[in-house]
Amino acid sequence: MSILRIVFQDWVANKGNVKGRLVLALFRFATVVRYAPKFLLVLGEFYLIFYRIFVEWFLGIELPWKLKLGSNARLFHGMGLVVNDQVKIGENVVFRF
């Protein structure tokens, strides 16, 4: 499944939730950068640093880019949300705190 399709599904699932849309879109693009070929990974390191600072430090949500997350995810009130990077989460999940 293409990354743009998954981002669109997350976007639709989080209708009316600006923070959820933003965090999941940033997360999806961080996973693309993380699994990119090594020559692109060097350029993507800046994005991964931005992702960690903005999402984890400013928004208070710890969704590591190594996490395997299915499509159509919903994020409600994600402040203080911490998920381990070795977790595999399926489709249609709802994160609530």
Distances (CA, A) of 3 to 8, 43, 71, 82: 9, 19, 9, 23
Residue 97 has pLDDT above 70, yes or no: no
Give me the chain's average pLDDT, please: 87
Residue 53 has pLDDT above 80, yes or no: yes
Tens-place pLDDT, residues 6-41:
888 989 999 988 988 999 999 999 988 877 887 777
Residue 77 has pLDDT above 90, yes or no: no
Predicted pLDDT at 1: 61
Residue 23: which of 53, 50, 61 has the closest Cα? 61
Sequence spans of domains, the chain: 3-95
